[in-house]
Amino acid sequence: MAGRLRTVLGMGLAMAWQGMSWAAGSWGMVDETGTMRLPEKYEQIGEFRGDLAKPLRLPEFLPGVKGAKIRKWVKGEGSEVKAGEPLAQVELSEPTLPVEAPVSGMLVKIVVPAKGAAIPGSPIGAVRVLGHVDVFDKKQYDVMCPGYGPHPGSATVVRWLKEEGDAVVKGDKIAEIRPAEAMAVINSPGSGTLVKIEAPEGTEVQVGQGLAKMGIGRVPVKLGGEWFYVDERGNRVWSARYDEVGSMQGGMAPVRVGDKWGFVNEEGKVVGQLEYEGAGSVFGGLARVKIKDRWGYVAGQDGGLRMVIPPRFLHAHDFSEGLAAVEESDDAPVGDETESDSTEDESKKIEGPPAWGYIIPSGKLWLRLDFAEAGNFRDDRAAVKKEGEVASWFLVDSKPDKEGHAKFRTAGTYTGLVLLGEKRAAWKKDGKWGLMDFQEKVIEIQPGASRQDLLVAVGPFGDKRAPAKDESGKWGYLDPEGKWVIPAKFERAGIFRRGLAAVKVPGGKWGYLKPDGSWAMEPRFAQARTFTDGLAAVSERGEAAAGAELETGGHWE
């Protein structure tokens, strides 16, 4: 069973970094310019999850205000900031603020006429309560000029929408004012680094426009034999240490202390309890958890955890494109937990050995349990192996037929099928790999292919480039039409992400390529990993290490 699980997980061409047999040593992280962001001192390092280029945009502070002027940046580039901390002061462009009726009644007096000056916090009119009022109750209320910004100055009453003698309802808009100068403060959306200021002081900006780039994220590192989390500057973000960790996604990360797993949020607080036998990262809003040898799914909710799908699966994959592959146990039929009744649905009982199917986030079975193995969905397709078939793989789509069975989209018999993205699949026959589209049209490898299936291995597309190994044993990159856009000349090659891919020159070191094949970073690293969210783990020390030989259907970062 364990062997089957490893095979199936590989089909998705994605894996968490934890569990990889990385060489221990001195690891750091570089950004996309090649600048070392995290010092090269860690025994191991995981994926950075965040964004070094997260845009800080001008919000719509007040209704109708579409622009502002940057008056002052309180923080400078490279500053470490906390969530909610002021970053900049802005002056709003000609804002008009509503003035609301304080109570229901009659507007009996206008103190400041239209075009008149008003001071925030001072009365500009009065409303009297109509009908019977107790002798001790207040009968008349002032209409106050509202405040705005941290240092409000004078304002002008633009117009009165109600006249003296008009009936008003509490909360009604009865007038409008325009501040002479309205100041507001832009706060940090999260804890991180102010990486770059794009709108200098004095710049006129519009609502939604990017003002700066923020670095907000977390990366797990191992030092002294224990794991903990640091930010994109290498600063430790909380004191706790763990025996094993996962990537910070969807606001929380799986961690293990002793033999129990649980989750921590971006500030290091435990979400729920450390009570699971196993746990995965968040995908599609849900994370896998294991209780008493069965897998289910949880979601973060109001600072805690909610069990969304009770543990009942022998094995379970992460959600992808709204579906998750699960291997059902024979003692817990798949069904919609919210629609159970006293009548047992015989059609959902398991007959024979456990099988794989697909569920939706409610836990309801979407594609029936028809498969011996099942991969993740990508581009509305998944690779599956039929029950009872010998080495026969097919593509299915995500829409079931009327009986809940999958619709098969391939007719050929393949000993392997792997989804690569760009609506392409790698297929295997006679020990070699080739490319095809979703209509099973073979993609001819160009140029000079004596055979259609000359590839030894091929990986997933990124930036319309797929790493591929030809019969010479060298790696290069193919485009979706099968053309060698970067010749096969490298000892190793990784996936393109954000326009960069790690490659190793024969007998030399690792560097990073651009999609056109030119160097973004000349080879200088002994070890190098794929970029995630703007940072990549690297090591410049020691002899160059080739690392594991990547194979189609295997463990790609």
Give the CA dihedral 190, 195, 201, 206, nearest 10 degrees: -60
Q: Are residues 388 and 426 in the same domain?
A: no
Q: Are residues 258 and 362 in the same domain?
A: yes
DSSP code at position 92: E
Q: Are residues 381 and 312 in the same domain?
A: yes
Query: Residues 282-306: what's their mean pLDDT?
Result: 94
pLDDT band at 446 (very low <50, low <70, confident <90, very high): confident
pLDDT at residue 333 is higher than 60: no
3-state class of 339 per DSSP?
helix
pLDDT at residue 451 is higher than 70: no
- Per the domain annotation, does 234 fall within a domain? no
In this prediction, residue 151 carries a pLDDT of: 59
- Per the domain annotation, does 33 fall within a domain? no
User: Pick from 59, 76, 62: which is nearest to 200 by CA?
Assistant: 76
Q: Are residues 384 and 256 in the same domain?
A: yes
Query: Residues 9-32: what's their mean pLDDT?
Result: 55
In this prediction, residue 462 carries a pLDDT of: 95
pLDDT band at 480 (very low <50, low <70, confident <90, very high): very high
Q: How many domains does the chain have?
A: 3
Q: Are residues 389 and 423 in the same domain?
A: no
Q: What domain range is 360 assigned to?
A: 2-16+246-397
Query: Residues 22-30: what's their mean pLDDT?
Result: 76
Q: Are residues 251 and 364 in the same domain?
A: yes
Query: Residues 304-316: what's their mean pLDDT?
Result: 95
DSSP element (H, E) containing 8: helix 2-11
Maximum Cα interatomic distance, the chain, rounded to a whole number of Å: 102
Query: Residues 337-355: what's their mean pLDDT?
Result: 47
DSSP element (H, E) containing 370: strand 365-374
Whether 42 and 28 have beta carbons less than 8 Å apart is answered as: yes
pLDDT band at 332 (very low <50, low <70, confident <90, very high): low
3-state class of 9 per DSSP?
helix
Q: What's 431's domain CATH number?
A: 2.40.128
Q: What's 164's domain CATH number?
A: 2.40.50.100
Per-residue pLDDT tens digits for 94-146: 777 889 999 999 999 999 999 999 988 899 999 998 876 666 678 899 999 98
- Per the domain annotation, does 388 fall within a domain? yes
Q: How many residues does the chain have?
A: 557
- Per the domain annotation, does 556 fall within a domain? no
User: Pick from 213, 178, 176, 207: which is nearest to 69 by CA?
Assistant: 207
Per-residue pLDDT tens digits for 532-548: 988 999 999 888 998 88
Whether 27 and 47 have beta carbons less than 8 Å apart is answered as: no
In this prediction, residue 3 carries a pLDDT of: 33
- Per the domain annotation, does 493 fall within a domain? yes
Q: Are residues 286 and 368 in the same domain?
A: yes
Buried b (16+ CB within 10 A) or exposed e, 357-378: bbbbbebebbbbbbbbbbbbbb
Q: Are residues 389 and 466 in the same domain?
A: no
Instruction: Say how many C-beta atoms besides its own lie within 10 A of residue 548's C-beta.
Output: 12
Q: Which two tokens stand for residue 47?
A: 């994926």
pLDDT at residue 205 is higher than 60: yes
Per-residue pLDDT tens digits for 172-192: 999 999 887 777 889 998 778
Q: How many helices and strands (H and E) does the chain possess?
A: 1, 47
Whether 80 and 107 have beta carbons less than 8 Å apart is answered as: no
Q: Are residues 452 and 337 in the same domain?
A: no
- The average confidence (pLDDT) of the chain is 85
Query: Residues 273-282: what's their mean pLDDT?
Result: 96
Q: How far is CA 356 from the centre of its chain?
A: 27
Query: Residues 228-251: what's their mean pLDDT?
Result: 90
In this prediction, residue 1 carries a pLDDT of: 32
Q: Are residues 381 and 431 in the same domain?
A: no
Indicate if the alpha-carbon torsion angle 5, 10, 11, 16 is positive or negative: positive
Q: Are residues 389 and 294 in the same domain?
A: yes
Query: Residues 280-300: what's their mean pLDDT?
Result: 96
Q: Is the peptide bond before 447 cis (omega within 30 degrees of 0)?
A: yes
Lowest mean pLDDT among 112-116, 184-188, 480-484, 491-495: 184-188
Q: What's phi and psi for 4, nearest 5 deg? A: -65, -40
Higher pLDDT, 429 or 88: 88
Give me the DSSP letters along 265-324: ETTS-EEEEEEESEE---BTTBEEEEETTEEEEEEEETTEEEEEEEEEEEEEPPPBTTBE
Higher pLDDT, 10 or 216: 216
Q: Which two tokens stand for residue 394?
A: 């097919």
In this prediction, residue 102 carries a pLDDT of: 94
Q: Are residues 287 and 361 in the same domain?
A: yes
In this prediction, residue 267 carries a pLDDT of: 83
Q: Which two tokens stand for residue 122?
A: 């001072």
pLDDT band at 150 (very low <50, low <70, confident <90, very high): low
Q: Which residue's entry shows tokens 């700066």?
A: 212
pLDDT at residue 263 is higher than 70: yes
Lowest mean pLDDT among 45-59, 372-386, 426-440, 498-512: 45-59
Q: What percent of the chain has pLDDT over 90?
A: 59
- Per the domain annotation, does 145 fall within a domain? yes
How far apart, in whole angstroms, are the C-alpha atoms of residue 101 and residue 90? 29
Q: Tell me the three-class secondary structure of 128-177, residue by residue.
A: ECCCCCCCCCCCEEEEECCCCCCCCCCEEEEEECCCCCCEECCCCEEEEE
In this prediction, residue 350 carries a pLDDT of: 45
DSSP element (H, E) containing 55: strand 49-57
Indicate if the alpha-carbon torsion angle 70, 75, 76, 77 is positive or negative: negative
- Per the domain annotation, does 165 fall within a domain? yes
Q: Which two tokens stand for residue 139?
A: 């009968």
Whether 218 and 253 have beta carbons less than 8 Å apart is answered as: yes
How far apart, in whole angstroms, are the C-alpha atoms of residue 269 and residue 260? 16
3-state class of 219 per DSSP?
strand
Query: Residues 498-502: what's their mean pLDDT?
Result: 95
Instruction: Say how many C-beta atoms besides its own lie within 10 A of residue 52's C-beta.
Output: 22
Please identify, among 132, 165, 184, the residue that sits at the C-terminal boundary of a domain: 184
- Per the domain annotation, does 44 fall within a domain? no
